[in-house]
Amino acid sequence: MRTPLVLALDVGGSSVKSVVVEAGPRILSSVSVDAIQSKSSAYDALYGIDISANLRKILGMPGLEIRYRNDAEAAILGEARYGAGEPYSRLLGLTLGTGLGSAFLVNRELITEGADVPERGWLYTLPYGTKRADDVFSTRGLLARLQARGLEADDIASAIQRAGEDRTALIDSFASFAEDLGLFLEPFVSKFRADAVLITGGIAEAWDLFAPSLIRLLAVPVVKATLGRRAPLLGAAALYM
């Protein structure tokens, strides 16, 4: 019997990442990254378009099965099954980047409803103080903290570089970000009885600047993702495996 193969895609605003995955799972190809123009036809106006039907037509494969998964869920699931989250049976995962993504997993399966998880497992719509969590625990939220301390930058990497030798403002900004994140997460960690919190996304690349404060505040291990761009692809392929 032929082993099923899955073409997994991670579609973003500026690129599409793809890889072929075999049941097991085993990645059979290197991750391909192809640039796309988000302002070109359809990409800025996908609402109402039957993407599956159009793909089948373009590919000439009317019977092709196509499934979809939220990108944050895919990345966290990939890490839960095959990466840093694998040792834990009850995992709360976050993606910290352009926005705040989240997922709750029991025995490496997504939990999207129940008394111990928010609706759909999503934290980004919930309030923190007077703001939405998505506006606080994201790149724009962190940049706002840095700006308030005199560090003007378009992205986190630039802010770190501009800090130079005077890193006080940088360290204070990341520490306050982590402290607020810990206070926000603690009730969910407790209610869900999480064994660990997994962090992935662009902000995780500044791990040494914010993780120590977050680790001190939470009573469970806080672990950094290890699979990089492979995580969401494996999480997407898991729809078939």
Cα–Cα distance for residue pair 84/89, rounded to 1 Å: 12
pLDDT at 229 over 80: yes
Cβ neighbours of residue 164 under 8 Å, at least 6 residues apart? Answer: none
Dihedral sign computed on CA atoms, order 98, 99, 104, 110:
negative
pLDDT digits (tens, 9 = 90+) for 55-70: 899 999 999 999 999 9
Element (H, E) at 157: helix 156-163
Look at residue 160 in the predicted model and tell me its pLDDT: 86
Does residue 44 or residue 99 have the better pLDDT? 99
Pairs from 12-18 (Cβ < 8 Å, separation ≥ 24): 12/71, 13/38, 13/43, 14/38, 17/229, 17/232, 17/233, 18/233
210: helix, strand or coil: helix
Helix (H) and strand (E) counts in the chain: 8, 11
Look at residue 59 in the predicted model and tell me its pLDDT: 92
In order of their start, the domains of the chain are 5-69 (no CATH), 84-225 (3.30.420.40)
> How many Å from the N-terminal Cα to the C-terminal Cα in the chain?
16
Type of residue numbered 75:
A
pLDDT at 198 over 80: yes
How many Cα atoms within 13 Å fall on the side-chain side of residue 66?
A: 14
pLDDT digits (tens, 9 = 90+) for 31-48: 999 887 766 666 766 677
The band of 14, judged by pLDDT with boundaries at 50, 70 and 90, is confident
